[in-house]
Copies of this chain bind each other. A is one copy, B any other.
Amino acid sequence: MDLINDSFKKKSIDQLIDFLRIKSISADKSFKNEILKASKWVKNSLDEIGCQITRIYETKGNPIVYGEIKLSSNYPTVLIYGHYDVQPPDPLNLWDSPPFEPVIKTTSIHKEGAIFARGASDDKGQMFSHIKAVELLKINDSLNCNVKFLIEGEEEIGSENLEEFITKNTNLLKNDVILISDTSIESNSKPCITTGLRGLSYMEIELIGPNRDLHSGVYGGAVPNPLNTIVDILSKLHDKDKKISIPGFYDNVKLYSDKERIELKKNSSQDGELFKKDIDIIDYEGEKQYDYDERISIRPSLDINGIWGGYQGEGAKTVIPSKAYAKVSMRLVPNQDWNRISDLFKNYIKSITPKNTLVNIKTHHGGLPYISDTSSKEYKAAYMAYKDAYGIAPFSKKEGASIPIVPIIEKLLKSKVILMGFGLNSDSIHSPNEHYGIFNFFKGIETICNFYKYLPKS
């Protein structure tokens, strides 16, 4: 794409870096001002590329930014969904540079450099690619679609207010196809389109034992220690074979025949040794009957995401704490329903909590699993867009992560989502040192421009 020249690149990177400086952490309400700042930043950038309508919609939570370019009612309408909020950056001490002071560094994968900052890949960098692609097409006078932008600020906390907004604004958001760039490709020489997502159920457990922290010498051995209890409870979430022990958990899990499993594998063919080496583990863990790549795509999982209680400081404190906490999430696959799974989780935890301990269980949020329609003309346009940009046809990939809004948005707006991701698994999203390759950023913009080119106009 000739228009992606040096001056365009420099400006785009400067803009993204500016965007990445905003600490738009949705999980922590003390960053509310930064959230508002980020929403304004997005609105301004939509104004700058010439959207005829731009607006910040207030919600009960964080605002939703909307933008629209309407060229002709004969043209198809593309809806871009993305998010300006980011994950919390902790643990801060593991970042090589501050998470909200973006720096460009080369890595073994990114010879052209990558931007290191929280949100670089998830999702500020990927979302901004769409704004820049549309700008480029407009400059080139080759935009021949109507475009709508729907950019929210609560994706990392379960898109709590988006569903209501979409439900109330189905006319405003009416479209022919929805593009989302919030997923990854296999590698920069092996692109793919994500055609499956796992669902999610995210829970939090609070255990309460004695009414106050106790001295472990004076009381140890005779009283319920909520830390002893919580490890007992959490250890009962998996059996010895790493199957999830919650009764009924697997009831609706879609099973694949051996033939289907071979077909899926052929289509994906990830490099398992590279996978292990990248994260430096001696061996995988999980269900023995399934390969590692199946465990993170067609099989559900359960992970403790956080645990805390008692003394965490330097040295020793001989305490039996009053309370213990854990955050636990489950990744779900077709045809598991996250509300049902959350209830099963609650009932099971309650059933295994001893009577001398009080338990409170909270559902943070959840989402349904998802499978794409790969037969549509829009999907074919995306396929051709990748093929042209990368010089190699993309494969179809079932992804382990969740974007709970995807199945909801399809249902509410009665159009299909295409998950045009450009990140890499090694981007460390949700981790310290998140980054997004300069190559990925501009290859993404190029691919999006191609999509508009291939999208049938009637």
A261 to chain B, nearest CB (A): 15
A433 to chain B: which residues have CB within 8 Å?
Answer: 212
A241 to chain B, nearest CB (A): 13
Q: How many residues of A contact B (CB 8 A)?
A: 102
Distance, CA A300 to CA B310, complexed state (A): 20
Quick check: A210 and B281 within 8 Å, CB to CB?
A: yes
Quick check: B401 and A218 within 8 Å, CB to CB?
A: yes
Quick check: A222 and B286 within 8 Å, CB to CB?
A: yes
Digitize A283-295: 1 where CB-to-B-CB distance is under 8 Å, 0 elsewhere.
Answer: 1111100001101
- The residue of chain B having its C-beta at the shortest distance from the C-beta of A293 within the complex is B222
A interface list, Cβ under 8 A from B: 26-29, 87-88, 90-91, 94, 156-158, 184, 198, 200, 202, 204, 209-225, 227-228, 230-232, 234-238, 279-287, 292-293, 295-296, 299-322, 324-325, 327, 329, 331, 354-356, 364-365, 399-402, 425, 428-433
Quick check: A216 and B356 within 8 Å, CB to CB?
A: no
- The residue of chain B having its C-beta at the shortest distance from the C-beta of A309 within the complex is B307
Known: A222-B285, A235-B235, A316-B27. A310 touches B311 (CB 8 A): no
- The residue of chain B having its C-beta at the shortest distance from the C-beta of A226 within the complex is B304
A287 to chain B: which residues have CB within 8 Å?
Answer: 221
Known: A303-B228, A356-B282. A219 touches B364 (CB 8 A): no
Which residue from B295, B324, B356, B432 sits with its C-beta under 8 Å from A284? B356
Known: A27-B315, A331-B220. A432 touches B210 (CB 8 A): no
Distance, CA A321 to CA B307, complexed state (A): 10
Distance, CA A397 to CA B40, complexed state (A): 68
Quick check: B304 and A225 within 8 Å, CB to CB?
A: yes
Distance, CA A237 to CA B232, complexed state (A): 10
Distance, CA A402 to CA B216, complexed state (A): 10
Distance, CA A221 to CA B292, complexed state (A): 8
A305 to chain B: which residues have CB within 8 Å?
Answer: 216, 227, 310-311, 316-321
Quick check: A296 and B221 within 8 Å, CB to CB?
A: yes
Known: A217-B200, A327-B310, A430-B213. A354 touches B285 (CB 8 A): yes
Quick check: B304 and A219 within 8 Å, CB to CB?
A: no
Complex A-B: 26 CB contacts under 8 Å: A90-B311, A94-B212, A94-B322, A157-B315, A214-B430, A216-B430, A217-B399, A218-B400, A218-B425, A219-B296, A220-B303, A220-B331, A221-B400, A224-B284, A225-B285, A227-B304, A227-B307, A282-B356, A283-B356, A285-B354, A305-B316, A306-B309, A306-B312, A307-B308, A307-B324, A316-B364
A355 to chain B: which residues have CB within 8 Å?
Answer: 282-283
Quick check: A219 and B400 within 8 Å, CB to CB?
A: yes
A204 to chain B: which residues have CB within 8 Å?
Answer: 316
Quick check: A157 and B279 within 8 Å, CB to CB?
A: no
A365 to chain B: which residues have CB within 8 Å?
Answer: 316
- The residue of chain B having its C-beta at the shortest distance from the C-beta of A433 within the complex is B212
Which residue from B223, B230, B232, B293 sits with its C-beta under 8 Å from A279? B223
Quick check: B306 and A227 within 8 Å, CB to CB?
A: yes
Distance, CA A274 to CA B155, complexed state (A): 50
Known: A281-B356, A356-B285. A306 touches B311 (CB 8 A): yes
Given contacts A216-B329, A221-B331, A281-B356, 14 further A-B contacts (CB under 8 A): A29-B314, A87-B317, A90-B311, A212-B433, A214-B279, A220-B329, A221-B400, A222-B293, A228-B237, A283-B356, A306-B321, A308-B308, A308-B309, A308-B312
